[in-house]
Amino acid sequence: MPDDLFGNPLPPAERPCRKRRAREADRRTFPQRITDCARFSDLYTLAHVLNDERPRNRGGRKAHYPPYVYLLFLAVRGVHGSARGTAGHLQHPGIWTEIKKGIAEHLGADEAARLPELGPSRNHWQHAQRTLLIPRLDDLNAAYRDLALKQALRQGLLPPGAPRSWSHPERHQLLVGDGTVAKAPTLATTPYTVDEATGEIRRRRVDPAAWSQTEGGGRPVRGTKFVVFSARHTGYLRRVLISYRHVPHHHPGGEAAAAIEAATEILDHPDAAGCLGLVYDGACRGTHRDTLHRRGRHLINKQHDGLTPVPLHTLGYSRCRHELWADGGRVTERTYRDDGTSTLTPLPIARLQRRGERTHRWYHQITVPCRYGPHHHREPVGITTTPGERPPGQSDVERKFHRAEHLVPIPPNTTTHDEIYSHRDDAESVFAQFDRHLWNGRLIAFGAEAQSLVMLGFLLAQNATSAARHQEDPAPQQP
């Protein structure tokens, strides 16, 4: 049988270990990360979104701190995980002096000298969060995404001019996404409880954004769901977090729909032209694959276990016939045994073709072994055609065949798929860091808007450290 383009899956014991032990240079202390935030140029660019647009003749006291200081507070809170602890650090004279040095590098010594002697207090932060940051949250998220994509390009991620192999994309050419449920700041579900014995009424604060959900493994969690997208090189502290999206309760389509909406915003951006696709988990199904495959990008995830084999068609030649089925994300041939039973044998894929300019099409060039000589067949994959895209009666929708669900460009249970899908574990490490940095492992804010700021601050802090490590050592580390 001819060799398959994507290779047969390796047994777990034979798969290479790509994990590299951390070096001393890969470790980042708490003061170093605060300095990284203060010297992060994108933070000051992002602060332009917060420029005060009030009329000059409007009354009122002048702001105690410029807007960029509160973005800096947000990023440092993404390191510390507590607004109270962040305020304490920024009001320490030595730490505030180091932060002002970072401000002077980007905005000048005169601007740093005009700042107060100590950083903002928690009261300053709470007022700015309510009146300055939350009203412009959407603008901040959009501007952050644009800046993060530019940072990814500077660090060699998603390169537009690099060689492309659609059958074997590289790690730094792919986005990795996943969803997580951040634990609610309180377990209370009702605003008050009544003690049946004494009649005492106890009031409790309820998080309006939290709801009961189930994480991977069937573990129940009450909290707020987010999806996050990132790209990275091999090595520690090389990740750039591109974007995030809050998933509201009862969002149409759930997590997968919100993830694809956010992913298409990234992939349609001019700075993401070098991205070859998205790696996600089993939350995405065929309809989500169809959306990205039509854009000429991959959506690489697992095939659902509940899918059953589906007959495709029969290839008829002068001396033989071959019955083709879709099984396990690829084309198989049904062969019969002497005892009357049958089995589905995967057919070798000789080539993966991508055609089109605006709307793309994907094909598998398949080799069908035969005793009379091998046959070559081209089968569309990844996209479910609709009426009007094929002659009448021949579209997948009219045939009631969900092609994007059953046939994918890079099929599972292959060496290539196993290697690429292993990058999804990187998203789990992002969420592990997010949970660890939060005080007591729970969100430190109530409401979707304030909790989105918590996530944005964490992303800013991570990207600040990534930018600092890239400046110190531009070459990505090998596994």
Contact 179, 226 (CB under 8 A): yes
Q: Convert the pLDDT of each residue in 176-185 to its tens digit.
A: 999 999 999 9
Give the predicted TM-score (pTM) of the model: 0.92
Q: Cβ distance 216 to 178 under 8 Å?
A: no
**At residue 443, what are phi and psi to the nearest 5 degrees?**
-60, 145
Q: Are 35 and 104 in contact (CB under 8 A)?
A: no
In terms of pLDDT, which residue wins out, 63 or 410?
A: 410
Sign of the Cα pseudo-torsion (146, 245, 228, 359, in order): negative
Largest interatomic CA distance in the chain = 93
Residue 367 forms beta bridges with which residues? 376
Closest-CA residue to 372 (of 334, 316, 325): 316
Average confidence (pLDDT) over 145-154: 97
Q: Label the pairing between strands 330-336 and 321-327.
A: antiparallel
Instruction: Give the type of residue at 437.
Output: H
> Measuring CA to CA, how many Å separate 269 from each of 141, 150, 346, 394?
14, 11, 37, 34
Q: Which amino acid is at 96?
A: W
Q: Which helix (H) or strand (E) holds 313?
A: strand 310-316
* Amino acid in the structure at residue 304: H
pLDDT at 52: 57
Burial of 58 per CB tally in 10 Å (0-12, 13-18, 19+): exposed
Q: What would the mean pLDDT of 26-38 be, rounded to a whole number?
A: 90
402, 253, 422: which is closest to 329 by C-alpha? 402
- Which pLDDT belongs to residue 54? 47
Contact of 324 with 312, CB cutoff 8 Å: yes
Q: pLDDT exceeding 70 applies to what percent of the chain?
A: 94
Distance CA(222)–CA(236), nearest Å, equals 31
Q: C-alpha distances in angstroms, 84 versus 17, 442, 444, 460, 469?
A: 41, 15, 10, 19, 28
Residues 6+ apart with CB under 8 A from 425: none
Give the rounded distance of the alpha carbon of 66 from its chain centre: 32
At residue 48, the pLDDT reads 94
Measured distance CA(147)–CA(155) in Å, rounded: 12
Question: Would you call 380 helix, strand, or coil by DSSP?
Answer: strand
- Token digits for 226? 């987010």
Q: Mind giving me the DSSP string for 391-423?
A: STT-SHHHHT--HHHHB-SS-SSSHHHHHHHGG
CB 181 within 8 Å of CB 213? yes
Across residues 176-204, what is the average pLDDT?
Answer: 86
Tokens 């995030």 correspond to 244
| Cβ neighbour number for residue 108 with a 10 Å cutoff | 11
Radius of gyration of the chain (CA): 27
The pLDDT value recorded for residue 23 is 72
- The tens digit of pLDDT for each residue in 437-463 reads 898 889 999 999 999 999 999 999 999
CA dihedral 329, 332, 334, 337 (to 10 degrees): -100
For position 55, what pLDDT does the model report?
45
From 146, 357, 178, 358, select the one nearest 269 (Cα to Cα). Answer: 146
| Whole-number percent of the chain with pLDDT over 90 | 71
177 token code pair: 């996404």
Distance from C-alpha of 23 to C-alpha of 20, rounded to nearest angstrom: 9
d(CA 34, CA 74): 11
Which of 427, 411, 103 has its CA nearest to residue 279?
427
Closest by alpha carbon to 278, among 126, 171, 380, 164?
171
**Greatest mean pLDDT range, 49-58, 189-198, 212-221, 309-318:** 309-318
What does the pLDDT look like over 48-89, one tens digit per residue?
999 855 444 555 567 889 999 999 999 999 998 999 999 999
Q: Mean of the per-residue pLDDT values for the chain?
A: 90
How many alpha carbons lie under 13 Å from residue 357 in its C-beta half-sphere? 0
Distance between CA atoms of residues 334 and 378, nearest Å: 17
